[in-house]
Structure formats: structure tokens, C-alpha cells
Amino acid sequence: MTFVHQHVWGWQIATYLFLGGLGGATFAISAILHLFEGCDRKMLSVAVLSSIGFLVLGTVFLLADMLQPLKPESRIKRTLLGGHSQIFQEQPISGY
């Protein structure tokens, strides 16, 4: 049995995944707050604006990570230089 060997994610990927999840959760909480008529409008606007801020910041990290064609592990560079054969390398698992 063989598995595809994957490289460890960098801090940029973890950052934009975290910020995207935080922005989505904050937006969901603000949508739930909007359902209640007695909620404070200032609290609702802070929740919506912070969710937009988290999503924008996560998008900046996403674009900073994806738009680096000269990075050694860049998908764009591997595809242009050697096709898909260099992206996934099958590695046997020892003991099987």
C-alpha cells in the first residue's frame, strides 16, 4: 500500500485558515444576534465589522501565500517546470 507524501503546511496557510474560520464564526454569531430584536445595535455592528476584517485579513494571507511563483514548493513553478509528476510522490509505508 502506498500513500501520497505531503509537505508540512507553512504558517501562512494555518493563518488564513484560522482567520477565515474566525471570520465565518463571527459572522454566524452576528447573524444569530440579528434575529433577536432586543440586541444592541452597536454590538451587532462590531460583530459584523470584525467578521469582515477577519475575512479580509485572511484573504490577504491567502493571496500572499498563493502568489509566490518563485517559492520552491510553489504549485505554479512545479507545474511549469515539470508537470504533475513532481507534485505527488508515492512513498511506501514500512511494515506492510
Classify residue 53: in a domain, yes or no.
yes
Cα angle at 85 between 84 and 87, to 5 degrees?
65
Q: Report how far apart the first and last C-alpha atoms of the chain are (Å, whole number).
A: 7
Element (DSSP H or E) covering residue 41: helix 41-66
Classify residue 91: in a domain, yes or no.
no
User: Per-residue pLDDT tens for 2-38?
Assistant: 777 666 677 888 899 999 999 999 999 999 988 887 7
Task: Please tell me which residue, 7 or 42, carries the higher pLDDT value.
Answer: 42
Confidence (pTM): 0.61
Which residue segment(s) compose the domain that 80 sits in?
10-85
Q: Name the nearest CA neighbour of 27 among 47, 56, 46, 5.
A: 47
Classify residue 16: in a domain, yes or no.
yes
Classify residue 4: in a domain, yes or no.
no
CA distance 74 to 87: 10
Classify residue 94: in a domain, yes or no.
no
CA dihedral 33, 35, 38, 41 (to 10 degrees): 50
Residue with cell 504533475: 84
Residue-averaged pLDDT of the chain: 77
Report the domain count for the chain. Answer: 1
